[in-house]
Amino acid sequence: MGKASRDKRDIYYRKAKEEGWRARSAFKLLQIDEEFNIFEGVKRVVDLCAAPGSWSQVLSRKLYLPAKLLPESQDSDLPLIVAIDLQPMAPIEGVIQVQGDITNARTAETVIRHFDGGKADLVVCDGAPDVTGLHDMDEFVQSQLILAALTIVTHILKVGGKFIAKIFRGKDTSLLYCQLKLFFTEVTFAKPKSSRNSSIEAFVVCENYSPPEGFDEKDLHRLLEKIGSPSGADDLDCSSGWLEGPNKVYIPFLACGDLTGYDSDRSYPLPKSADGSYQSLDPVQPPIAPPYKRALELKKASSHGVREQDEFKNSMQSSIASA
């Protein structure tokens, strides 16, 4: 698909380039904010799985840059934004970057060090593994990423804080809802207008972090496993009870963003300049070192010889194996 036809097919992709966002995902966070007002009173934020950085840009533009412009602002008053990803990211003003794996305990320790003993008001996570197309597998890997994010949340989110994470809707959504309800008084699933209806992606918006009394972060996984079994759920207060039959959990689900605004599943005509042509813009900032970069380089070179073709095949196989 050419750039111009992608601009026509995906209005948010085009708008992202026009407004200087590195990815169309920026609109998802903005639309979640329109509905839930997630930035109110926020001074410390963690952006998990942040590359190429459009959510970090939103955090910078909504929190850091306005605070910096205040006449009496001092460095110590400025919001602290820490962004983490496996991939490196081009710099963004006011955003501290950490390259690391959110499933690794050391990553949480690095973030905690940046906060110097303080806690975060908000944690966002737009993490996604490379999608395999096998729905159950993709949903499972995505849920593992959310649990890794929740582990970090239990270490660094302040009581009363908020957590926003991408999920893949599927048969385990009720279980996830129930698990999150252990830690937050309000849990809502949201579908921003910029997220395609055809995609199983949605976002969970968790408000008012209130871990169970006496909760020890080391017990998180044991606690979550317990809720994953019907007998375990009986003695936990999962507010709505077990997940099947008459006690089935009904999950609050909200469409958000201006509902009269752009529809991400529609094609829109391209604006023409005076000479009747349309000029497609380049992406604002593509990922610096995406995992597929080496494979693409090898593909280009593959016409030059069989050795490169073998190397390309091996590289593709190992990317698939590690996905």
Residues that are catalytic: 166
- Binder among 49, 81, 122, 256 for ligand SAM (CB under 6 A): 49
Q: Closer CB to ligand SAM, residue 166 or residue 181?
A: 166
**168 forms bridges with which residues in the sheet?**
201
- Binder among 45, 51, 202, 224 for ligand SAM (CB under 6 A): 51
Cα 120 to Cα 118: distance, rounded to the nearest angstrom: 7
Closest distance between ligand SAM and the C-beta of residue 106, in Å?
12
Closest distance between ligand SAM and the C-beta of residue 95, in Å?
12
Q: Is the peptide bond before 52 cis (omega within 30 degrees of 0)?
A: yes
* Region of 48-56, 191-199, 243-251, 294-302 interacting with ligand SAM (CB under 6 A): 48-56
Query: Pattern 87-126, binding to ligand SAM, x per CB under 6 A?
Result: x-------------xxx----------------------x
CB-side neighbour CA atoms (13 Å) of 177? 25
Q: Which structure tokens are listed for 274?
A: 């005076």
Q: Beta strands 201-209 and 157-168: pairing type?
A: antiparallel
Closest distance between ligand SAM and the C-beta of residue 239, in Å?
30
Amino acid at 299: K
Output 33-39 pairs: Cβ under 8 A, ≥24 positions apart.
33/58, 33/62, 34/256, 34/257, 34/258, 35/190, 35/254, 35/256, 35/257, 36/162, 36/188, 36/190, 36/205, 36/207, 36/256, 38/122, 38/162, 38/164, 38/205, 39/63, 39/122
Binding to ligand SAM in span 122-181, by CB under 6 A: 126-129, 145
**255 forms bridges with which residues in the sheet?**
191
**32 and 71 Cβ atoms separated by less than 8 Å:** no
Q: Closer CB to ligand SAM, residue 83 or residue 227?
A: 83
Q: Closer CB to ligand SAM, residue 132 or residue 185?
A: 132
- Binder among 16, 23, 176, 224 for ligand SAM (CB under 6 A): 23
* Region of 5-13, 61-69, 74-82, 85-93 interacting with ligand SAM (CB under 6 A): 85-93
Q: Which structure tokens are listed for 313?
A: 């095949």
Closest distance between ligand SAM and the C-beta of residue 240, in Å?
30
Phi–psi pair at 71, nearest 5 degrees: -60, -35
Q: Is 81 in the site for ligand SAM (CB under 6 A)?
A: no
Total residues at interface with ligand SAM (CB under 6 A)? 22
* Region of 20-28, 73-81, 168-176, 183-191 interacting with ligand SAM (CB under 6 A): 20-28
Q: Is 54 in the site for ligand SAM (CB under 6 A)?
A: yes
Cα 161 to Cα 58: distance, rounded to the nearest angstrom: 19
- Give the interface with ligand SAM as residue ranges (CB under 6 A): 22-23, 25, 49-55, 84-87, 101-103, 126-129, 145
